[in-house]
Structure 1
Amino acid sequence: MKFEVEAFGVKDYLPASLDPLIKDKDLQTGVSFASGGSGFDPLTTAETSAIPMSVQLDMFKQHILKLKRNIKEEAADNIIDNSVAVIVAGNNDLFLSLPNRRLQYDVPSYANMIVNLVLNFIQEIYKLGVRRIAVFSAPPIGCLPVVRTLDGGPHRKCADKENNAAQLFNSFLTQQVQLWATSYPQSRVGVIDYYNPLISIIENPHKYGFDVADRGCCGTGEIEVLFLCNKLTPTCPNDSKYFFWDGFHLTEKGNSIILYHILQDLLNSLF
């Protein structure tokens, strides 16, 4: 969320709500409740030990109470009413939990189940007073370096199965969010297309100043993720030439270019 808050001119950095050094004034300009590895499917957070989405929602409720204690309730309500909630989740559900849910769900029914959980989450945020909500679609999961390695064959091509699941999820998500929004005309709720900007860069990396878009900068670039990228792991000589930092996440340059492409989508959806 660093690039998003900078783009909106709010502040340079969005602090974590659990940061022990967080200041009261930070509560008035926004904090992050995100937890890396989280998802809407309870199985996802059970596998990653991330903070569940339901707990993140409770953290937001506590945030509102703190805000009302620090400033007048009317001023706090005004901040919430004019705030923007950005939801970036669901990727880990499709990547981690879907393969383990195969006996219970096929891909369409699982995607529909996750979309319903997203709608429930949006509804809860709306009830707390937020009127501008942006939901990021799933990226082309089959093109993530780690998925190419695991499911892309000997030439590490983008895996069609994962990309098709992401596209189906995005289609359901867009349809259902638009339908939900018709019942709440005073809200501005939109799905931010995260899939197509990424696939465009992955398929045409040199056009965007990258040399490598099928491997990460960290280690071999094919499988390492998160803690496997550490001071003992060799990295590429110039990460600005890589779209991915590790097997799952973008480099700083990658994130900044993606934001440039989705910023107009964000503005159109929320304002």
Structure 2
Amino acid sequence: MYLVQKLLPQLPLQIIWSCAILIIFQQNDSAVSLPNNETVPAVIVFGDSIVDPGNNNYITTLVKCNFLPYGSDFAGGDHPTGRFSNGLIPSDIIAAKFGVKKILPAYLDPNLTPEDLLSGVSFASGGAGYDPLTSTLASVIPLSSQLEMFKEYKNKIKEAVGGSRAANIISKSIYIVCIGSDDIANTYVQTPFRRAQYDIPSYTDLMAGQAISFLKKLYGVGARRVGVFGLTALGCVPSQRTVDGGIRRACANSSNQAASLFNSKLSSQMNALNREFPDARLVYLDSYNPLLDMIHNPSLYGFEETEKGCCGTGNIEVSILCNPYTLEMCANASNYIFWDSYHPTEKAYYVLSSLVLDDKIKDFF
């Protein structure tokens, strides 16, 4: 930082801003300051592939990534875990931000210890959605089953540490919900009978209704500090550019408009839910605009490639299509916002997590 300050009078404003951003994000692998010296006992996550650290490894589904090149930069390199990226994912990064632990494990990992459970796990399953059909089509763990696993989790920690401490963990933990992109990108776009049943306004009504129903159930089993990610600018991920972006692979406006419409409904209904449950802290987390800014201004965040993923052609490869036999790989994933055609790189996740969460952390307390 001293070097940046020394050179400030001599540098163009854009370079100064870029340097400051990069320094800030490089520091964000450590915990941030929490209000009133609060401590968080655990981070507990529900969702899809963005926050699945490997639960899909243990179920029968094609939606897997427990093979190289996934994990090529995890824990020093060449260590696929089932995370849909080259390294860490938001569930890990968020757990570190709240000072809990640096790696948040999958609940279905058979090697979990009681200590692992006490500081939190992820129940997320790649391919899941708010729409129950989404999980059925992908043969993955739906939100309803993720909630049942959480109830099982509660019993396990009660057996481990007793009712009083377990109740404290449940009430003071941070809960993260990150799901919904597969509903639009897969179920709605690719399933004709869903499009016959719903137009975009009514389908996003369905999604928002399911989201609020889940949050009410989560509140009912003890969660009080809950952050819910809105959808990103789905139309700008490489696969959606390829499928619906025309010959120039532009951002798919229809997917972006659907994501934006859902986000407005989710945010509004979460505000109403906060009034209904005044002892809860339900925090809407906007990931749409931060990702769009990263794509439109990549140099500010240290990126070069915004339209393709690092794996293969970068246009369509994801999950089993991005595998050890993929012929093309980028030389440096940190230059790319996207790892495969759908999921960001570890570096992009760090940047995005900071843009989305850092200014919102105070709202959890």
Q: Give the TM interval when normalised to the shorter protein.
A: over 0.9
> Which residue of 141, 144, 148 corresponds with 2:237?
144
Q: Answer yes or no: is 1:115 the counterpart of 2:203.
A: no
Q: Distance in 2 between matches of 1:42 and 1:131?
A: 24
> Which residue of 311, 314, 334 corresponds with 1:218?
311
Q: Distance in 2 between matches of 1:208 and 1:16?
A: 30
Name the Cα RMSD after superposition.
0.9
Per-residue deviation, 1:264: 2.1
**Structure 2 partner of 1:166:** 259
**Structure 2 partner of 1:239:** 333
Q: Distance in 1 between matches of 2:180 and 2:360?
A: 18
SS of residue in 1 equivalent to 2:140: coil
Larger radius of gyration: 2
Q: How many correspondences in the alignment?
A: 271
**Structure 2 partner of 1:186:** 279
**Structure 2 partner of 1:177:** 270
Query: Deviation digits for residues 58-106 of structure 1, max 9, x if unmatched?
Result: 0000000111111110110011010111000111111111232111111
> Which residue of 62, 87, 91 corresponds with 2:177?
87
Per-residue deviation, 1:12: 1.3
Matched to 1:169, the amino acid is F
Q: Distance in 1 between matches of 2:251 and 2:363?
A: 30
Per-residue deviation, 1:28: 1.1
Per-residue deviation, 1:268: 3.3
Q: Answer yes or no: is 1:206 the counterpart of 2:296.
A: no
**Structure 1 partner of 2:187:** 97
SS of residue in 1 equivalent to 2:247: coil
Q: Answer yes or no: is 1:124 the counterpart of 2:217.
A: yes
TM-score of the pair, normalised by structure 1: 0.98
Q: Distance in 2 between matches of 1:111 and 1:269?
A: 26
**Structure 2 partner of 1:55:** 145
Matched to 1:62, the amino acid is E
Gaps of 5+ in 2: 1-90
Contact 2:104 2:120 (C-alpha < 8 Å) held by counterparts: yes
Q: Distance in 2 between matches of 1:265 and 1:109?
A: 32
Q: Answer yes or no: is 1:74 the counterpart of 2:168.
A: no
Gaps of 5+ in 1: none
Matched to 1:59, the amino acid is M
Contact 2:130 2:210 (C-alpha < 8 Å) held by counterparts: yes
Q: Distance in 2 between matches of 1:103 and 1:190?
A: 33
Matched to 2:126, the amino acid is G
Q: Distance in 2 between matches of 1:79 and 1:22?
A: 18
**Structure 1 partner of 2:48:** none
Contact 1:134 1:266 (C-alpha < 8 Å) held by counterparts: no
Q: Distance in 2 between matches of 1:2 and 1:79?
A: 18
Q: Distance in 2 between matches of 1:253 and 1:207?
A: 13
**Structure 1 partner of 2:128:** 38
Percent of paired sites with the same residue = 44
Contact 1:243 1:251 (C-alpha < 8 Å) held by counterparts: yes
Q: Distance in 2 between matches of 1:264 and 1:5?
A: 13
Per-residue deviation, 1:180: 1.0
Contact 2:285 2:357 (C-alpha < 8 Å) held by counterparts: no
Per-residue deviation, 1:231: 1.6
Per-residue deviation, 1:266: 3.6
Contact 1:192 1:265 (C-alpha < 8 Å) held by counterparts: no
Per-residue deviation, 1:263: 2.2
Tell me which of the two structures has the higher relative contact order, counting C-alpha pairs closer than 8 angstroms and 6 or more residues apart: 2
> Which residue of 248, 255, 258 corresponds with 2:349?
255
Contact 1:193 1:265 (C-alpha < 8 Å) held by counterparts: no
Per-residue deviation, 1:56: 0.5
